Amino acid sequence: MANLPPPLSMKSVALSGASSPSSSSNNDRKLSSAEQLILDLSNPELRENALHELSKGMKLYNRNSSTLIKALITIGEQFKLKREIFQDLAPLLWHSVGTIPALLQEIIAVYPALSPPTMTPAQSNRVCNALALLQCVASHTDTRMLFLKAHLPLYLYAFLNTSSKSRPFEYLRLTSLGVIGALVKVDDTEVIRFLLQTEIVPLCLWTMENGSELSKTVATFIVQKVLLDDVGLEYMCTTAVVYTKTKRIKCCTNRRTNEGTRVLSLDKCV
């Protein structure tokens, strides 16, 4: 927690395209909605709506290019505004006062519902909206290592360590894996070393055996990225329990593939 972002003014985070004097007032209007939503995260009464709107904006921004074109035709300038804002959302989230602690509050608030498993779909959806914003921070070049050094992934491990297969828990498990997947998508030994030290591999192996198809796919992607790193490969080969379990899961996966099971593209899942 010592590495959480220092308090900075919202205005100190500059977005691309805001430097032209002739368009400064227009840019201010574009930023005002995103800035206000981020400020709303610190207000418990406004937070749920802010989480919904911000995560919805991220979903729009992350769609593939053909869908983007359709969206632009459908909602025109409104989407264009969101695209310009949400591409730099991560620095805004990280450096704005109280935002990251507010997201952590949302995560911690559902811990009591993990055991016994009493989480409702509404609770799951709300915390997943918070996780979607953390995934944005984890995937951005300027905030990825800050996110890691603050040890924020540790807050998600409780969601991966659940056995319930109900829809709210599966949705939560998949979204949490998406955050970890965003970290490993860029090859970085420091990221792999951190994840190994915090025992992410056993959690991913459990998911590869017991999760839904999508959760298995993202968990497999994470393990694959670990294996492609020299530090990760050494860990997998020298840790007897992990090695045995990985080998067994690999055999099962190969058998299912030979029987005609659809193979998903791992890189498109995070």
Per-residue pLDDT tens over the stretch 74-119: 333 443 445 455 668 899 999 999 999 999 999 999 999 999 999 9
- Single residue among 70, 87, 104 that ends a domain in this structure: 87
Range of the domain at 269: 90-270
Residue corresponding to tokens 């730099």: 88
Lowest mean pLDDT among 76-90, 125-139, 224-238: 76-90
* Sequence-ordered list of residues with C-beta below 8 angstroms from that of 189, at least 6 positions apart, any chain: 229, 230, 231
Short-list 204, 245, 249, 247, CA closest to 223: 204
Question: What integer pLDDT is reported at residue 1 of this predicted model?
Answer: 52
Tokens of 172: 């939560």
Among the listed ranges 7-11, 35-39, 96-100, 219-223, which one has the minimum average pLDDT value? 7-11
Q: Band of the pLDDT at 242, cuts 50, 70, 90? A: low
Same domain flag for 239 and 197: yes
Q: Are 41 and 103 in contact (CB under 8 A)?
A: yes
- Per-residue pLDDT band at 20 (split at 50, 70, 90): very low
Peptide bond into 202 cis (omega under 30): no
| Confidence label for 34 from pLDDT (cuts 50, 70 and 90) | confident
Tell how far CA 9 is from the center of its chain. Answer: 25
Looking up tokens 């995934």 gives: 135
Chosen domain end from 44, 66, 87:
87
Tell me if 114 sits within 8 A of 158, measured CB to CB.
Answer: yes
Please say if the pLDDT value at position 18 is more than 90. no
> Which residue would you say has higher pLDDT here, 1 or 121?
121
Cβ-contact 121, 167 below 8 angstroms: yes
- On whether the CB atoms of residues 175 and 59 are closer than 8 A, the answer is no
| Domains: count for the chain | 2
Q: Is 90 exposed, middle or buried (0-12, 13-18, 19+ CB in 10 A)?
A: buried
Last residue of a domain, one of 37, 63, 87: 87
Task: Give the pTM.
Answer: 0.75
Q: For the chain, give the mean pLDDT.
A: 78
Arithmetic mean of pLDDT, 237-265 = 54
* Residue 231 · residue 192 · CB < 8 Å: yes
How many Å apart are CA 225 and CA 14, to the nearest integer?
A: 33
The C-alpha atoms of residue 204 and residue 84 are separated, in whole angstroms, by: 35
Identify whether 18 is part of a domain. Answer: no
The identity of residue 168, as a single letter, is: P
Q: Indicate whether 48 and 159 sit together in one domain.
A: no
